[in-house]
């Protein structure tokens, strides 16, 4: 009897595990992929190489090369509680990437069945990009950041990377706030300042921490409307 109960328990656990995986990862066609890409705060990730990406990609996609040595490290910086849409050339790399995302705790992943080829075959557009050279970012010490916070009354620490599309979208929003509210912005590239992730407990990018008189007042992550940030600052 105990043996039967044990077997039942193991089967139950496996069933729950498989159900959890199937719920967090969904393989979808191009039409459903496009529909889900319009969800609030959704992020599109192209896991092809940089060369493949610039030759034609889905609008607003972030490029994280599956074959890159830092692939998993970069994925771990992506916000995990928003819809993630992943694709590659034909679906192989994106399927493996989706499994990695599931292991990292992503809660809603849509994998494009057939890859970008299926996307184009369905009549959806792709755009071409110029090969953007990565700029050398400044490395900041904790001491330098502390001095900056002490010397400025209102500060937003902007934790981001050069490859993160949501980070790029937040830049003009932060610039407007800086000009309108006399708030200093200190942008910190986490690819160049990896140790700052632990120091400031950064779980995803972009993350923005607002300080007033050297005290943390609030923090936000992902795409945030300007009005919400201003209300917090006020």
Q: Give the CA angle between residues 134, 139, 142 to the nearest 5°.
A: 150
- Among 185, 186, 135, 140, CA closest to 163: 135
Written as tens digits, the pLDDT of the chain (234 aa) is: 545 444 444 444 444 444 444 468 999 999 999 999 999 999 999 999 999 999 999 999 999 999 999 999 999 999 999 999 999 999 999 999 999 999 999 999 999 999 999 999 999 999 998 777 777 889 999 999 999 999 999 999 999 999 999 999 999 999 999 999 999 999 999 999 999 999 999 999 999 999 999 999 999 999 999 999 999 888
Is 14 labeled as catalytic in the residue annotation? no
Which residue's structure tokens are 């995302």?
101
Domains and CATH numbers, the chain: 8-121 (3.40.250.10), 142-233 (3.40.30.10)
Please report how the helices 165-181 and 226-233 are oriented relative to each other, as an axis angle in degrees rounded to 10.
50
Return the DSSP state at 134.
Answer: P
Integer Cα distance of 211 and 147 in angstroms: 13
Among residues 14, 16, 88, 164, the one annotated as catalytic is 88
Beta strands in 146-193 (DSSP E): 154-160, 184-189
Q: Are 101 and 81 within 8 A, CB to CB?
A: no
Tokens matching residue 32: 């459903």
Strand order in the sheet with 184-189: 184-189, 154-160, 207-212, 215-221
CA within 13 Å, CB half, 128: 3
Q: Give the CA angle between residues 107, 87, 120 to the nearest 5°.
A: 135
pTM: 0.84
Q: What is the DSSP string of 21-38?
A: HHHHEEEE-HHHHHHHHT
> Under 8 Å CB-to-CB from 119, ≥6 apart: which residues?
30, 33, 58, 87, 112, 126
Tokens matching residue 219: 């923090």
């Amino acid at each position: 009897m105990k043996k039967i109960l044990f077997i039942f328990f193991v089967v139950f656990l496996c069933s729950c595990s498989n159900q959890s995986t199937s719920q967090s990862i969904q393989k979808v066609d191009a039409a459903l992929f496009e529909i889900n890409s319009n969800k609030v705060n959704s992020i599109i990730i192209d896991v092809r190489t940089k060369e493949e990406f610039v030759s034609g990609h889905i609008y607003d996609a972030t490029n994280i090369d599956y074959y890159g040595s830092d692939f998993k490290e970069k994925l771990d910086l992506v916000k995990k509680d928003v819809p993630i849409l992943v694709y590659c050339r034909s679906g192989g790399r994106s399927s493996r990437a989706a499994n990695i995302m599931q292991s990292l705790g992503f809660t809603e992943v849509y994998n494009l069945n057939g890859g970008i080829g299926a996307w184009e075959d369905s009549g959806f557009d792709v755009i071409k990009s110029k090969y953007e050279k990565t700029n050398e970012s400044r490395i900041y010490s904790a001491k330098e950041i502390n001095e900056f916070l002490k010397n400025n009354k209102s500060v937003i620490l902007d934790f981001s990377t050069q490859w993160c599309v949501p980070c790029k979208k937040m830049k003009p929003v932060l610039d407007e706030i800086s000009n309108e509210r006399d708030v200093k912005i200190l942008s910190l590239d986490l690819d160049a300042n990896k140790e700052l992730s632990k120091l400031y407990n950064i779980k995803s990018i972009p993350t923005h921490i607002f300080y007033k008189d050297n005290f943390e007042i609030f923090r936000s992550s992902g795409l945030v409307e300007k009005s919400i940030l201003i209300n917090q600052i006020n």
